[in-house]
Every structure is written in C-alpha cells, then in structure tokens.
C-alpha cells in the first residue's frame, strides 16, 4: 500500500505539500494538486482519513430519473440501499453529468470522496468515464453496461435473451409469424444486446429475419410514427419494443390510425414500468424487477470488494401478459 512518503518521493516534493494536496488545502496550486492526486491513484494510495469515517459507497447516475416511485431508477436505488445500509454502508446518490466527467478523472473522484466502490446507472457508450472504466482500479458495478477483462469492473442487468425468448414463444403460441422490432439506436451496450437477442430468438424459432421488420431511431414519437406503418405494410402482426416508453407511444399511434390492439396488431414492451397497467389496453411487457436489480448491484459490489472477480450477474426476465397481445389477425 502506497503512503504519503511514496507520493512525495515520486514527485520530489514535501510530505506536507502532498498531505495538503490530498485534502484540498487552499495553499497548494491547482497544478500541483492535480499531480498529487494523479500520482496517488497511480501508486494505489488510499486516503485513510476519509475512508475511516465510515464504510462508503456511491451510486452515480447519469440520464435516469429516480426521485419518485414511478421513475425508472427509484426502485433500483431503493433495492441497493436495502442491502447496503443494514450491512453498515453509507450510500450517497450522485448525479454525474458528461461535463463533470470531462473535468474529473473517475478514480480521483472516488478517492477524494472516500468511496470504496460505486454502482453506475444510466451511462451510455458516449460517457467519458466509460473509457476510464477499462483501466480503473476501483471496484465498480455497471448496470446494463459491460467492460471487457478489467477484474475491478462487473456488470448487472436483466437477461434480454431470456426476455425475448419468453415474448416470442408467447407470440408464436398466438399464431404470429412476422415479428418486428422497434428500438432506440444501437449506440448503447444494452440496445445492442437486445437487438442481438431479437435476432437470436427469431432464428431459434425459425422465423423470418428481415431488415424491413426492424426500425431503429433516436426520437421516440418520430420513430413510432415512421416505423409502425412501414412494418404493417410488410405484414408484421406483432412488434417487440426495446422499452415500454416506445411501446406506449405505439399504442397512441395505433389508436390515432384507427388500428385496434391486439386485434390488428400485438405489442410487447420491455421494463414493466408502473404506468403499463394503466394504458388502454394494458401493456404486455418483459419485466425487469428493478428492486432486485438494485440488490444485484450490491451483491456484485460485495463480490468485487471480496476479490471475487465476477464479470456479470444476469437477473431473470419474466413476461407479464396483459391486453396488448392477442391471436394473429386473419
């Protein structure tokens, strides 16, 4: 374990300057402070003064709402805290913008905060810290993201393949043969995984894979408007959606076009958001148990903190059958 002496020796400065830099004292220049912090991370220094205060974890959130029970992140945060707090951990919830990530290296942020480990929610492949996770020395668990080969990083998420297999099996039992996919763009790990799961599952059920049955677009309402008529023209009778929000937008779009769900078209979402029971008809969807996902996040961090170098934990998906799926139209 590196000491303040090691940092001082490496930089050729005094111990007291190093100590001031590590503790953000005013009388150290910004440039020196930065060098001290970067060297501290490089040498594996642990700030005991901050760490001793308590066992501290953080949940870092970007691009996901979590304040109220009907928001996606709420139950994930809750589940994580339900496991961590009885075990003696303090858990801070911190929104992290892309700009902040550009200013502050991840390992330095964690060291300065005195955090032993982090659970990361909502980042996309475009977030700067996603690059830093490749080499980070901090135990870190990513929800719906995956980093290759770094033993300090693990991934948790819901099994997309299992979810799509349950959905397609249900549709095949209802007589559907042409099954489409409407999804966000493939610029995130999880959307790539769901896209691949869609292809694997159709292939497993010997159903036609056709680019014209697939619609990928960033803006929800716009891509629904564009792809629903296109897929129907192709003879698609059931559509899987990468998220409930897109499936719900499709319900509105179909109603506006005078299409009946499920008589004319069957629709299946992904997530089981609270609002899916209130749509007309209520949405058939693949459920991710968000509280359990939060708990998984803590189990995964516990593994890493105990040097059990797991790569991933996958939570089971379940299919919740409601009113938006029915027999194939004649």
CA–CA separation, 316 and 147 (whole Å): 21
Q: Which CA distances in Å does 159 have to 145, 147, 193, 196, 289?
A: 12, 17, 9, 12, 11
Q: Which stretch binds a second copy (CB under 8 A): 65-73, 113-121, 230-238, 303-311?
A: 303-311
- Closest contact distance (angstroms) between CB of 149 and a second copy is 7
Nearest CB to a second copy, comparing residues 100 and 205: 205
Which residue lies nearer to a second copy by CB, 199 or 313?
313
- Please pick, from the candidates 31, 86, 99, 149, the single residue that binds a second copy as defined by CB under 8 A: 149
Regarding 308 and contact with a second copy (CB under 8 A), the answer is yes
Pairwise CA distance, residues 223 & 247, whole Å: 11
Spell out, one character per residue from 109 to 148, where the chain touches a second copy: x when CB under 8 A holds, - when not: ---------------------------------------x
Which long-range contacts link 263-266 to residues 24+ away (Cβ below 8 Å)? 263/326, 263/329, 264/329, 265/232, 265/236, 265/237, 265/238, 265/239, 265/329, 266/171, 266/174, 266/176, 266/237, 266/238, 266/239, 266/324, 266/325, 266/326, 266/328
Among 295, 324, 325, 326, indicate the residue that binds a second copy (CB under 8 A): 295
DSSP 8-state assignment for residue 272 = -
Q: Under DSSP, is residue 271 helix (H, G, I), strand (E, B) or coil?
A: strand
Q: Does 292 bind a second copy (CB under 8 A)?
A: yes
Least distance CB 239 / a second copy (angstroms): 23
Q: Smaller CB distance to a second copy: residue 280 or 305?
A: 305
Alpha-carbon separation of residue 201 from 163, 165, 172, 194 (angstroms): 10, 6, 11, 10
Please tell me whether residue 310 binds a second copy under the rule CB under 8 A. Answer: yes
Q: Which is nearer to a second copy, 21 or 79 (CB)?
A: 79
Is residue 311 near a second copy by the rule CB under 8 A? yes
Q: Which residues of 52-65 are buried (b: 16+ CB within 10 A; e: fewer)?
A: eeebbbbbbbbebe
The distance of Cα 231 from the centroid of its chain, to the nearest Å, equals: 28
Given 11, 313, 320, 328, the residue binding a second copy (CB under 8 A): 313
The nearest distance, CB 295 to a second copy, in angstroms, is 5
Is position 86 an interface residue for a second copy (rule: CB under 8 A)? no
Dihedral sign computed on CA atoms, order 141, 92, 95, 19: negative
Residues 162-221 that bind a second copy (CB under 8 A): 162, 166
Question: Hey, what are 22's tokens?
Answer: 């590590």
Told to check if 75 binds a second copy by CB under 8 A, we report no
Interaction between residue 275 and a second copy (CB under 8 A): no
Question: Please, which residue, 245 or 300, has the CB nearer to a second copy?
Answer: 300
With contacts defined by CB under 8 A, how many residues of the chain interact with a second copy?
26
Between 21 and 157, name the residue whose CB sits nearer to a second copy: 157
How many Å apart are CA 120 and CA 140, to the nearest integer?
7
**What burial class does residue 318 get, using C-beta atoms within 10 Å of its C-beta: 0-12 exposed, 13-18 middle, 19+ buried?**
middle
Residue among 5, 16, 29, 309 that touches a second copy (CB under 8 A) = 309
Residues forming the site for a second copy (CB under 8 A) = 83, 148-149, 151, 159, 162, 166, 289, 292, 295-296, 299, 302-303, 306-316, 318
């Amino acid at each position: 374990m590196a000491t303040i002496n090691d940092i001082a020796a490496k930089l050729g400065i005094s111990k007291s300057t190093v100590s001031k830099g590590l503790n953000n004292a005013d009388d150290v220049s910004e440039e020196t402070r930065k060098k001290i912090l970067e060297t501290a991370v490089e040498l594996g220094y642990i700030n005991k003064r901050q760490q001793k205060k308590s066992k501290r974890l953080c949940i870092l959130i970007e691009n996901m709402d979590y304040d109220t029970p009907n928001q996606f992140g709420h139950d994930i945060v809750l589940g994580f805290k339900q496991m961590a707090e009885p075990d003696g951990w303090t858990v801070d919830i911190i929104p992290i913008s892309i700009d902040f990530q550009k200013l502050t290296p991840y390992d330095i942020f964690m060291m300065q905060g005195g955090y032993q480990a982090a659970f990361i929610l909502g980042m996309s492949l475009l977030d700067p810290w996603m690059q830093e996770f490749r080499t980070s020395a901090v135990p870190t668990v990513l929800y719906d993201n995956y980093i290759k080969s770094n033993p300090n990083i693990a991934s948790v998420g819901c099994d997309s393949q299992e979810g799509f297999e349950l959905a397609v099996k249900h549709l095949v039992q209802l007589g559907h043969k042409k099954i489409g996919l409407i999804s966000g763009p493939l610029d995130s790990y999880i959307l790539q995984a769901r896209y691949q799961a869609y292809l694997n599952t159709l292939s497993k059920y010997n159903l036609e894979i056709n680019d014209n049955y697939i619609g990928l677009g960033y803006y929800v309402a716009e891509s629904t408007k564009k792809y629903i008529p296109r897929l129907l023209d192709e003879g698609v009778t059931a559509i899987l959606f990468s998220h409930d929000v897109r499936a719900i937008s499709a319900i509105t779009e179909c109603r506006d076009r005078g299409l009946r769900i499920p008589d004319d078209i069957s629709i299946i979402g992904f997530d089981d958001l609270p609002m899916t029971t209130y749509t007309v008809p209520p949405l058939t969807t693949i459920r991710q148990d968000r509280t359990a996902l939060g708990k998984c996040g803590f189990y995964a961090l516990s593994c890493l903190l105990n040097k059990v170098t797991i790569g991933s934990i996958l939570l089971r998906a379940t299919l919740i059958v409601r009113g938006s799926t029915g027999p194939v139209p004649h």
